[in-house]
Amino acid sequence: MAITFLMGFSCGLPLLLTLSVLQAWMKEEGVDLSVIGMMSLVGIPYTVKFLWAPIIDRITLPFLGRRRGWLFITQLGLMAAIAGLGLSNPSQHPWLLAGAAFLVTFFSASQDIVVDAYRRESLSDAELGLGSSLYVNGYRVGMLLASGGGLILSDHLPFSGVYLIMAACMIPCMVTTFCSKEPEQPYGVPRTLSEAVLAPLREYFTRNGAWWILAFILCYKIGDSMASAMTTPFYLDIGFSKTEIGAVVKLFGFWATIAGSLVGGIWMIRIGIGSSLWIFGILQAVSTAGFMLLTVTGPSVSALSTVIAFENFTGGMGTTAFTAFMASMTHKRFTATQYALLSSLMGVPRVLVSAPTGFLAKAMGWNWFFAGCVLAAIPGLLILMRFSGWSAADIHEDASPLAECP
């Protein structure tokens, strides 16, 4: 479990180094806003990481084992790429900066593939809840260090120094890789690259309920994603100051999310993933309705704190259960490829469904908009009924003949 937390930290650290921290550096250097906006394209590897996941599933490097070997290589590349990004010059060579940032996201996405596979293969189904909780919490701590810590340091050091410090933060992560244990491979490994690409898809889509699982992954957090996309404009619109938003929503809300993830993980040990998805999903929807109360109370810090505490706490619980569910849906022979596919699919609602939320809020008003977000959570819960009385173990038993795949 400690290794799971540290690997989560390793995955969360690089994310905002190519987003908010890099944007602040480019703005300070006087880079044109259009160029700053285009830099978001360097994040493409996160959405297409399933394209090279089969290579990681198929090839075992000649040191440290199938998972730890790749993990060490990606972490070494990530440390070098972060340092290279820090040594770039945003104003004089923006395209070299973009190339270094792309390498950071490529190695970061590759690390995500290996860590997700490692976590699934090292933990039993009963342990996935708490393991996912600690992974998510480690991820958020890494993000906080990179964004909050990086921006604070940039007031006292040049950005190049900040990036070199962040690159050095990868060293403990690499030590963790050395000290961890290589997971067992009871189902063997794909024997050819063709099998590594096709067999995971064949195994998944021959399952009973495969399409329902995809529909559930698309729908479970739609309401939460829609509401989150418009919360900052909402807070400003009803009269909260940026300082109040930063203190309550970002700092206080961060710890509420951490607590929710941890409680959710512990609770899942007792009641299982299926029941947790029901309970946490309902609580997520109810917490979204809390934003409607703020339109009545106005800019009350105590009301905002209450709403944020409940919303982030239940959101942390729901994310933990959702992450554990996706991990449980992967077959241990093709963990890297299948989890990369499912996690890429999970990001679709966050991007596509969130895009029109500004138009909806403007047309409907805040109350009806958040009411619509609550209703948007219902389809995911209805699809969850399809899985009543069914467990991930049923899938893995049905999939065991894969050891004989051609």
With a threshold of 0.95, does the pTM exceed it? no
Question: pLDDT at residue 97 above 50?
Answer: yes
Contact 148, 50 (CB under 8 A): no
Q: What is the mean pLDDT of residues 197-218?
A: 80
Question: pLDDT at residue 351 above 80?
Answer: no
In the structure, what pLDDT confidence band is assigned to residue 388 with cuts at 50, 70 and 90? low
pLDDT digits (tens, 9 = 90+) for 34-78: 677 677 778 788 878 888 888 888 888 888 888 889 999 999 999
Question: pLDDT at residue 124 above 60?
Answer: yes
Contact 73, 43 (CB under 8 A): no
Question: pLDDT at residue 176 above 60?
Answer: yes
301-328 and 128-144 helices cross at what angle (nearest 10)? Answer: 130
Which one is predicted more confidently, 386 or 279? 279
Q: How many angstroms separate the CA atoms of 14 and 6, rounded? A: 14
What are the backbone angles phi and psi of residue 395, rounded to the nearest 5°? Answer: -65, -50
Percent of the chain clearing pLDDT 90 (strictly above): 10
Which one is predicted more confidently, 91 or 392? 91
| Structural domains of the chain in order of their starting residue, each with its CATH number | 1-184 (1.20.1250.20), 191-406 (1.20.1250.20)
Question: pLDDT at residue 132 above 50?
Answer: yes
pLDDT digits (tens, 9 = 90+) for 221-261: 888 878 876 777 788 788 887 677 767 776 778 888 888 88
Instruction: Report the range of poorest mean pLDDT among 129-143, 244-258, 356-370.
Output: 244-258
How does the average pLDDT of the chain come out, rounded? 81
Token reading at 129: 């809840």
Question: pLDDT at residue 134 above 80?
Answer: yes
Contact 354, 229 (CB under 8 A): yes
